[in-house]
Amino acid sequence: MKLLVAVKRVIDANVKPRVKADGSGIELANVKMAMNPFDEIAVEEAVHLKESGKVSEVVIVSMGEAKCQETIRVALAMEADRGIHVQTEAELQPLAVAKLLKELVEIEQPDLVIMGKQAIDDDSNQTGQMLAALLGWPQGTFASKVELGEGEVTVTREIDGGLETLALNLPALITTDLRLNEPRYAKLPNIMKAKKKPLEVKRPGDLGVDITPRLITLKVEEPPVRAAGIKVADVAELVEKLKNEAKVLS
């Protein structure tokens, strides 16, 4: 059985993003980048399934500039088998990514696709659902537990009212939530081995996909600064301010 995992290179989760001076986007120059945290969980789950003997190969896919290969190598150091990099300097929006992944899925023929539920840079939460629709595959989103069986996968997913369990016929698509697992740290020997693992480079044109953006970002702004709070002397003063200033009490 083969698994395909999509990963994205984003600003490190511990770094506070800054808006460019001209408001055209987020500043990426000299900013620490890393694998999207939800995608790390997807890689860990794929590797875990491989270590359990239920999966024979884990293929990592990433899209974007040449530095995305560093992100793929991190996934390979986590014990994935090989990587595919769709190299482009153009902006990639969710539908374009879904279309590129669809072409790769048709080439690779995986039994299961696992990806993070969303990327922490744009928070779109769209690519997995779009890919499942394009492929006509069943999908289990926001997975907090995955059990791979014979010809099917059982997914426990988080919903507003609690948990929902789905049985999906393979091939299928899963998007991962935070509570699915705890990603491992890549060990130094594995990091060295990852440099020798196969990594194939493709271009969007090789896959016959038009990646022209459908949305145009007009301007990016920092959120407004919150006003400082105040201290009140007693409950009576608090009630008075809530009535007369905040107007939340009558």
pLDDT tens for 82-118 read 999 999 999 999 999 999 999 999 999 999 999 999 9
What's domain 2-221's architecture? 3-Layer(aba) Sandwich (3.40)
Sign of the torsion formed by the C-alpha atoms of 227, 230, 235 and 241 = negative
Rounded to an integer, the average pLDDT of 49-77 is 95
Helices (H), the chain: 37-51, 68-77, 94-108, 127-135, 188-194, 235-244
Q: What pLDDT shows up at residue 25?
A: 86
pLDDT tens, residue by residue, 128-170: 999 999 999 999 999 999 999 999 999 999 888 889 999 999 9
Q: What is the pTM of this model?
A: 0.86
Q: What pLDDT shows up at residue 168?
A: 97
- Pairing relationship of beta strands 152-159 and 139-148 according to DSSP bridges: antiparallel
Reduce the DSSP state of residue 108 to 3 states and report it: helix
Q: What pLDDT shows up at residue 225?
A: 85
Is 90 exceeded by the pLDDT of residue 23?
A: no
Q: What pLDDT shows up at residue 63?
A: 96
pLDDT tens, residue by residue, 177-236: 999 999 998 888 898 899 999 999 999 999 999 999 988 889 988 888 888 888 989 999
Q: What pLDDT shows up at residue 21?
A: 87
Interhelix angle 127-135/94-108, rounded to 10 degrees, is 50
Is 80 exceeded by the pLDDT of residue 250?
A: no
Q: Domain locations in the chain? A: 2-221
